[in-house]
Amino acid sequence: AGGTERRPVVLMKVCMGNTVYEEQFTLNDRSDMIYPILLGRRTISHLGYLDVTQTFQHSPQCDKNSPVKMDKDQKDDEDIND
């Protein structure tokens, strides 16, 4: 609000439920904050409906056989080129 801050963007894989999502994240030091990452609008749109009133409801269940939803497969993810 009221300004612009430019940060590097990286692709990172994150496990939610039993699915691995490759998503874009901006880099920012969050070591003194409660949550290590924030999910942006784009990531949330890829996940579908979320109950934002609940946190830490289950442990991730990903393994080597988990499905992976790749960033490049999303129509709106043209910011990072491979």
Per-residue pLDDT tens listing for the chain (82 residues): 577 777 788 898 988 888 898 888 888 888 999 888 888 888 888 777 888 788 877 788 899 999 998 877 666 655 555 4
The answer to whether the beta carbons of residues 67 and 19 sit under 8 Å apart is: yes
The answer to the question of residue 81 being in a domain is no
pLDDT at 33: 93
The answer to the question of residue 1 being in a domain is no
The answer to the question of residue 24 being in a domain is yes
Domain that holds residue 34: 9-71
Q: Which residues are registered as beta bridge partners of 69?
A: 21
Q: Which two tokens stand for residue 32?
A: 């003194």
Listed in sequence order, the residues at least 6 apart from 12 whose beta carbon sits closer than 8 Å to its beta carbon are 22, 23, 24, 25
The answer to the question of residue 26 being in a domain is yes
Question: In the sheet where 68-69 sits, what is the strand order?
Answer: 9-16, 19-26, 68-69
Give the three-class secondary structure for 41: helix
pLDDT at 46: 78
Number of domains in the chain: 1
pLDDT at 82: 47
pLDDT at 1: 58
